[in-house]
Amino acid sequence: MPQAGDLPRSSPLITIRNLQRRVALDVPWLRRFAPLALAECRGIAPGDTHPLQALEEVAVAIVSDRRIAQMHVDFMGIAGPTDVLTFDHGDIVISAETARAYAADYEQPVDREVALYIIHGLLHLNGFDDLEPRARRRMHAVQARVMQTCLRRLRVD
């Protein structure tokens, strides 16, 4: 399986936009984290194709529960908020309020939970799914590995 550094094509641009006001986030830290996550995720795919490589840009929007709940209904027909929605054209939408709730459950900073959702969205863009238990376990294992690599790189820089 190729590693992120083995791919000759340059990475797409990744942007982070905080469009909510209820949850305080360290957006500069997330903006440093996101390109590291993108570099790691673009070389990891469940099959032979790497759809993330074809994208020119990945746009991450951090929104309120109210906004993501509306998108959840509009695009998936499911009522209620969710943690992250990923769209094949490169948009990742994250709920800050849901991230805050899960961060409290897992006793970790909300910024780290949002960072995990960024990785989750990037892996979806590269062909991973989490619909079946086996695929979900694999995706979660990859997420954990990417998170540790990115956090280690942030501490070194």
Sign for the pseudo-dihedral over CA of 100, 143, 56, 13:
positive
Question: How high is the pLDDT of residue 11?
Answer: 65
Residues of the chain with pLDDT > 90: what percent? 82
Question: How high is the pLDDT of residue 10?
Answer: 61
Mean pLDDT along residues 84-106: 97
The answer, yes or no, to whether residue 151 has pLDDT greater than 50, is yes
The answer, yes or no, to whether residue 120 has pLDDT greater than 90, is yes
Backbone angles phi, psi at 151, to 5 degrees: -65, -40
C-beta atoms surrounding 84 within 10 Å? 21
What are the boundaries of each domain within the chain?
A: 4-156
Sign for the pseudo-dihedral over CA of 40, 41, 45, 51:
negative
pLDDT digits (tens, 9 = 90+) for 62-78: 999 999 999 999 999 99
Name the least confident of 27-41, 86-100, 112-126, 143-157.
143-157
Is residue 52 within 8 A of residue 125, CB to CB? The reply is: yes
**Crossing angle of helices 110-125 and 96-105, rounded to 10°:** 110
pTM: 0.91
Angstrom distances, CA of residue 129 to CA of 17, 31, 113, 147: 25, 25, 19, 18
In the structure encoding, which two tokens stand for residue 35, read together?
């390109």
Work out the pLDDT band at 157, boundaries 50, 70, 90. Answer: low
Nearest to 99 by CA among 29, 22, 28: 22
The answer, yes or no, to whether residue 7 has pLDDT greater than 60, is no
pLDDT digits (tens, 9 = 90+) for 8-65: 446 689 999 999 999 999 999 999 999 999 999 998 988 888 899 899 999 999 999 9
17: helix, coil or strand? strand
- Integer Cα distance of 74 and 53 in angstroms: 28
User: Domain 4-156 has what CATH class?
Assistant: alpha beta
Average pLDDT, the chain: 92
Work out the pLDDT band at 156, boundaries 50, 70, 90. Answer: confident
The answer, yes or no, to whether residue 1 has pLDDT greater than 50, is no
Instruction: Name the residue with tokens 């590995």.
Output: 145
